[in-house]
Each structure stands twice: as structure tokens, then as C-alpha cells.
């Protein structure tokens, strides 16, 4: 095994696989009908960002089991990024988030395209009556109805983009070039990945707006993000490589707490991070009243008057930076961020200890420790 691990070179390889694969798939869509170009465009760009951590964990699940570098394995690992891209499209749609990586989310971008197309039609053919601005008065009922129709269409198209990305993840994985016998080992885990991801997203929806509870929040973290971010990619790489049951147990003992730490860090950044770095608005979690561990820890430590202040903010559509500052100050006063930092540290330490006795090459243990730090010591 080479002693050199170059994360930037690995990202370049994964980026190349995803770009070529999605360009080809987008071309197939447009070949059906030119009207599908807005959908194809979102498909092309859906996986254009990211640190490629999920692909890296899959790759090192393979390498830590003693297998050599492989272009086919990199293609299979890249499929993990399409799972993530699908989850992001759906998550942004559910939360009605406007930004991701500093860019409009898929449903917002599609709404802008559809609005522009409708306006172009109205300008060239006013008698068509189509589009959100078919009535020159933007405050008129027909204009409002038109905007609602465009928004609904954009959200429906975004949902289909997310669905297609999940299907494409399976396609890229199964056409990676790895032997069919290797791929067959992972079938049950792929099914579990999809089931548990949907379970976690559903739990978040069901508990959104409800009484904050740390145990509930951590369950959402585990199933919505932790498993498909670290544990499942590692296990899929290991199963492809023929890893022993003992090594797969090590992967779970490392991957699950690390995945939870990853999402806990994300929750902290969601409220305390700089939007210039995170690429998301810091008000999203408060506006949606999401069941984060940070909010739950704040609620648990708050007295009744402080809880009343939180009730006055959570779930409101008109939040501004003043509300954000007030909530941040309250959280800091109650030391909720420090307790979440403690949860992160404890989970990273647990993950690191799982590697101490792992029957893996020394370089694999070193890289997995580096990946643990990369996943949790970040500013976005």
C-alpha cells in the first residue's frame, strides 16, 4: 500500500467521475425533449460541491481491508456522493431552504428559470395568458396565482431531480466495473441505507415544531445523517473488499459516533457559523423549528422565562439578525454550544479508540484518523 494519501487528488478523481456521469445522464434527458433542459441543468450541477468525505470513507473501507487502489472502486465510491446529493435536494425542499453552498437550492433555481421562461412567453405572445406575470399588475389575483403555479411546478421538478439522483447513485455503483460478485455483497446494506435515511428524514419532519428533546434529536442525527455519511460508506467499501465481520464491526464502532459528531458540528455551524463559509443562512434552523441537539440542550437548561423567549422566535417566518443574535446570546448564556462541543469530542474520541485495535494497515488507521478530524474540525 502506498504511503501517500492525497485528498485533493482523490477529490479530483471523484469530481471527474461525477461530472462525466451526470453530463451523460443530463444529455439523455434532453434527448427526450428540449423542454427538459432546466431539469438536466440541475442534474449536472447537483453534485458539483463537497469535500467528498462519503466517497473517501467508502474508498478507505476498501483499502483498510487490504485492497489496492482501483478506478472501478473510485467510481463505486463516487455513488455515495450521489446519495448525498439526492438527500440534499430533498432536505432543502422539505425545509424550503433558499441557499446551499452559497447558491440557490434546486427548487429555488428552477423557480427562477420557470419564471423567466414564462415572462419570455408573455412578452412574445401576450395572448397566451401563461406565466406568473401574464397580468402586468404583480399584485393582481391572476399574477399571484401564476406565481403559485410556478412555485409548485419548481418544487415538483426538484423532488423528481432528487429521486433521479438516488436512482443514479445505484446505477453508477452497479456499473462501476467491479465484479458482480463483489457488488452482490452490498445489496442488503444499500437497502438499509435508503430505509434508514428516509427514516431519519421522516423523524425530523414528525418532530419539527415539537418539544425539544436531546434523545430525539440524537436519534434524528443518527438516522438522517450519521449512518449514510460515515458508517454505511465504510461498510460498503468493506463488503466490496471482502472485509471480515470483525473489521466490519470496527467500521461501525468508528463510523457511527463519527457520523453523529459530523452532524452535531453541522448543527453548531448552522447557527454560529459564518454564512460566507457555510453557504447557508443561519436562520434556517430557527425558522423551521428543527429538532437539533443544540436547541434541545438550550431548552433543557432554560427556565420558564427563557423558554418563553424561545417560543416567541421558533417557527417564525419574519426572523432577522436581531432574533438570531438574541437566540445565540441565550444559547451561550446557557452553555448549550459547550455541551454540544462536549458531545462532539466524546464521539470523536470513541471513534478514534475503535481504530486502536483494528486489524488494518497502519496507513489506513492514520488516514481514518485524519478523516475524523476533517469531518469534525471544520468551519463549513
Instruction: Find where cell 504511503 sits.
Output: 3
Could you tell me if 263 and 373 are in contact, meaning their C-beta atoms sit under 8 angstroms apart? no
The torsion angle over the Cα atoms of residues 108, 111, 112 and 113, rounded to 10 degrees, is 120
* Residue 127 confidence (pLDDT) above 70: no
Buried b / exposed e along 134-168 (16+ C-beta atoms within 10 A) = bbeeeeeeebeebbeebbeebbebbbebbebbbeb
Output 182 or 317, whichever has higher pLDDT: 182
Instruction: Dump pLDDT digits (tens) for 250-293.
Output: 999 999 999 999 999 999 998 998 887 777 777 888 888 889 99
Longest dimension (CA), the chain: 74
Residue 100 three-state SS: strand
- Fill in the DSSP letter of residue 69: P
Residue 126: predicted pLDDT: 58
**pLDDT for the residue 136:** 58
For the chain, count helices (H), then strands (E). 18, 2
Using CB atoms within 10 Å of the CB of residue 361, give its burial: 0 to 12 exposed, 13 to 18 middle, 19+ buried.
middle
Of residues 253, 262, 257, the one with CA closest to residue 354: 253
Distance of CA 192 to the CA centre of its chain: 17
Q: What is the pLDDT of residues 322-351, one digit of tens each?
A: 999 999 999 999 999 999 999 999 999 999
Q: What is the pLDDT of residue 160?
A: 98
Interacting residues of 304 by C-beta distance below 8 A, sequence separation 6+: none
8 A C-beta contact, residue 99 and residue 380 = no
Cα–Cα distance, 113 to 262 (Å, whole number): 34
Give the mean pLDDT of 41-62.
95
Q: Using a pLDDT cut of 90, give the percent of the chain over it.
A: 76
Q: Which residues contact 344 (CB under 8 A, 6 or more apart)?
A: 261, 264, 265, 268, 376
The pLDDT score that the predictor gives to residue 1 is 45
Average pLDDT across the chain, whole number: 91
Walk me through the domains of the chain, giving residue ranges and CATH numbers: 7-376 (1.10.600.10)
Confidence band, pLDDT 50/70/90 cuts, at residue 84: very high
Contact status, residue 258 vs residue 348, Cβ threshold 8 Å: yes
Q: How far apart are CA 307 and CA 377, in angstroms?
A: 31
Residue 130 confidence (pLDDT) above 70:
no
Amino acid at each position: 500500500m502506498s504511503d501517500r494519501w492525497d485528498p485533493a487528488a482523490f477529490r479530483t478523481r471523484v469530481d471527474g467521475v461525477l461530472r462525466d456521469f451526470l453530463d451523460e445522464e443530463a444529455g439523455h434527458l434532453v434527448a427526450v425533449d428540449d423542454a427538459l433542459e432546466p431539469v438536466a441543468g440541475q442534474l449536472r450541477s447537483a453534485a458539483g460541491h463537497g469535500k467528498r468525505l462519503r466517497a473517501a470513507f467508502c474508498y478507505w473501507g476498501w483499502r483498510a481491508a487490504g485492497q489496492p487502489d482501483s478506478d472501478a472502486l473510485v467510481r463505486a465510491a463516487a455513488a455515495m456522493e450521489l446519495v448525498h446529493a439526492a438527500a440534499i435536494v430533498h432536505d432543502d425542499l422539505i425545509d424550503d431552504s433558499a441557499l446551499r453552498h452559497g447558491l440557490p437550492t434546486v427548487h429555488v433555481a428552477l423557480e427562477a428559470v420557470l419564471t423567466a421562461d414564462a415572462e419570455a412567453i408573455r412578452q412574445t405572445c401576450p395572448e397566451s395568458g401563461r406565466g406568473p406575470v401574464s397580468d402586468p399588475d404583480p399584485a393582481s389575483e391572476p399574477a399571484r396565482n401564476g406565481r403559485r403555479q410556478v412555485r409548485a411546478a419548481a418544487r415538483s421538478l426538484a423532488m423528481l431531480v432528487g429521486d433521479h439522483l438516488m436512482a443514479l447513485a445505484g446505477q453508477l455503483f452497479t456499473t462501476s466495473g467491479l465484479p458482480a460478485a463483489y457488488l452482490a455483497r452490498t445489496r442488503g446494506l444499500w437497502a438499509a441505507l435508503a430505509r434508514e435515511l428516509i427514516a431519519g428524514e421522516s423523524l425530523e419532519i414528525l418532530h419539527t415544531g415539537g418539544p425539544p428533546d436531546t434523545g430525539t434529536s440524537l436519534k434524528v442525527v443518527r438516522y438522517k445523517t450519521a449512518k449514510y455519511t460515515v458508517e454505511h460508506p465504510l461498510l460498503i467499501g468493506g463488503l466490496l473488499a471482502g472485509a471480515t465481520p470483525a473489521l466490519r464491526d470496527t467500521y461501525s464502532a468508528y463510523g457511527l459516533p463519527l457520523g453523529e459528531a459530523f452532524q452535531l458540528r453541522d448543527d453548531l455551524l448552522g447557527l454560529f457559523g459564518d454564512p460566507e463559509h457555510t453557504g447557508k443562512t443561519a436562520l434556517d434552523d430557527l425558522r423551521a423549528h428543527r429538532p437539533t441537539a443544540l436547541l434541545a440542550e438550550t431548552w433543557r437548561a432554560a427556565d420558564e422565562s427563557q423558554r418563553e423567549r424561545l417560543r416567541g422566535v421558533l417557527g417564525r417566518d419574519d426572523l432577522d439578525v436581531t432574533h438570531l443574535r438574541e437566540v445565540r446570546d441565550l444559547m451561550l448564556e446557557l452553555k448549550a454550544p459547550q455541551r454540544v462541543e462536549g458531545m462532539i469530542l466524546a464521539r470523536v474520541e470513541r471513534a478514534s479508540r475503535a481504530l486502536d485495535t483494528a486489524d488494518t494497515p497502519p496507513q489506513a488507521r492514520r488516514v481514518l484518523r485524519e478523516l475524523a478530524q476533517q469531518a469534525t474540525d471544520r468551519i463549513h
